[in-house]
Amino acid sequence: MNTACNRRDFLKTATIGVTAMSFTARSYARIMGANDRIRIGQIGCGGRGRGAHMAGVHKHDKVENVEFVAVSDPWRLAREQGAAMCKDWYGTDVKQFVSYRDILACKDIDAVMIASPDHHHSTQLEAAAKAKKHVYVEKPMARNMKELIRAVDAVKEANIVVQVGTQIRSLSTSTACHELWKSGLLGKASRIEQCRNGEKPYWYHYVKDIKKEDVEWSEFLGNAPKHPFDVSRYSGWYGYLDYTDGPVTNLGVHFIDLYNYITDAQFPTSCVCNGGVFTWKDEHNFTCPDHVEALWVYPEGFMVAYSSNFGNGSGNRHRYFCEKGQLVLDNWSAPNYTAEGGPKRDGTIRGVNEVKPIETPDHFQDWLQCMRSGKPTRAPIDAGYLHSVAGLMAVESYNTGHRMIYDHKSRAIKKG
């Protein structure tokens, strides 16, 4: 019997509780012994792939018995750097591929981490699910409802363990804010808002000199519009609407996912969004808006506002305005709450109160542990679908100029 398949069978059993499974003596020893290692392939070896995914898992690889065994990236230097990290950690040479397809074809790989550009996420997530690999996938999960639904359905059909990369919900302070909200101390919310500003759009920080001969350009483009190789487009892809949908589904998704988690909010009933390129017009010809503002209305009876202004770095804030006070996450690693502004404040909340952290496994360790325990991850596929719908409503409103609504029954975003 193929030992790679035995490993996957073990992980599937440990994850989803399949009991009608027979094991050979060899596979049973793998479960009980020290060799039941989770073998991971890294898809995308840029700053996020190496600096967050790989480094984040490496902190836990001995305790959780995992290792990276393959890397893929269209840019030769990035995949070589990823492989060099693995060589340093494990003392072995890992497989290096240009395409994610080659990683998914490896039968001895149990899980993959997806840190590719946004326009690849849904395609790679769907393909990984069909290959029966567990997945850690960066947000945003998809760029339209069709590909989102296809990926989500593939994940549920495969019954794999997925962690969506909205890691802010795994902060110990986020756990504490969720518990505070459940206590009812702040009362009903009326408005939740975040302004996440900067002096310059974040995509400028990624632009670097890259040689054409080091990049498999067609692999990068995937299903995006065809263009000749361009250094700005490759390294600064965050700034082009061909490959991403801009600040709302990038930075803003963390905000959406966090208030979903804290408040248990469900799908918005409507959304309007506007913006444009107002400040940063230069030789790069970036197309993502350097200013954008979105408003959602929720059936729970509150409004949510998100904005990014990359023409001025002041005015950043993150607040939950409620009838008995407000929750302040301007620094989301050190939140506090007060009675300020609450029309029904009753003296229960006095002064400025720290939201005391509640110890929580970090986002990467949670994913690793859930592959063995069968428990839901902190950011499962349904949480990803929830924040993706809100983000895509804003994208559709920005693109069309119309108010958008969401029909949960048909899983469709429509003009309202």
- pLDDT tens readout for residues 298-323: 999 999 999 999 999 999 999 999 99
Q: 34-48, 122-136, 159-173, 345-359: which range is least confident on average?
A: 34-48
Let me know if 292 is exposed, middle or buried by CB neighbors in 10 A (0-12, 13-18, 19+).
buried
pLDDT at 23 over 50: no
What mean pLDDT is predicted for residues 2-24?
Answer: 34
Tokens 């996020």 sit on residue: 48
Pairing of strands 404-407, 353-354: unpaired
According to the model, what pLDDT value does residue 36 have? 83
Task: Provide, rounded to the nearest whole percent, the portion of the chain with pLDDT above 90.
Answer: 91
What mean pLDDT is predicted for residues 187-198?
Answer: 98
Domains 37-160 and 171-360+381-415 share a fold: no
The tokens of 3 are what?
A: 């030992």
**Would you say domain 171-360+381-415 falls under CATH 3.30.360.10?**
yes
The CATH number of 37-160, from 3.40.50.300, 3.40.50.720, 3.40.50.11900, 3.40.47.10, is: 3.40.50.720
What mean pLDDT is predicted for residues 363-387?
Answer: 96
What mean pLDDT is predicted for residues 373-393?
Answer: 97
According to the model, what pLDDT value does residue 4 have? 40
According to the model, what pLDDT value does residue 14 have? 35
Distance CA 10, CA 173 (A): 34
pLDDT interval class at 134 (50, 70, 90): very high
According to the model, what pLDDT value does residue 16 have? 32
Let me know if 169 is exposed, middle or buried by CB neighbors in 10 A (0-12, 13-18, 19+).
buried
According to the model, what pLDDT value does residue 1 have? 34
pLDDT interval class at 276 (50, 70, 90): very high
According to the model, what pLDDT value does residue 332 have? 87
**DSSP H/E element including 405:** strand 404-407
What mean pLDDT is predicted for residues 226-244?
Answer: 98
pLDDT at 31 over 90: no
Residues linked to residue 236 through DSSP beta bridges, in sequence order: none
According to the model, what pLDDT value does residue 2 have? 37
What mean pLDDT is predicted for residues 4-20?
Answer: 35
Q: 32-36, 284-288, 318-322: which range is least confident on average?
A: 32-36
Contacts 24+ apart (CB under 8 A), 312-316: 312/197, 312/199, 313/197, 313/198, 313/199, 314/197, 315/195, 315/197, 316/195, 316/196, 316/197
Q: Where are the domains positioned within the chain?
A: 37-160, 171-360+381-415
According to the model, what pLDDT value does residue 3 have? 35
What does the mean pLDDT of the chain come to?
92
pLDDT at 6 over 90: no
Q: List, in sequence order, every beta strand (DSSP E) within 277-403.
A: 291-298, 302-309, 317-322, 325-328, 336-338, 353-354
According to the model, what pLDDT value does residue 29 have? 29
Task: Provide, rounded to the nearest whole percent, the portion of the chain with pLDDT above 70.
Answer: 92
pLDDT interval class at 263 (50, 70, 90): very high
Secondary structure class of 49 (helix, strand, coil): helix
CB neighbourhood size of 253 (10 A): 26
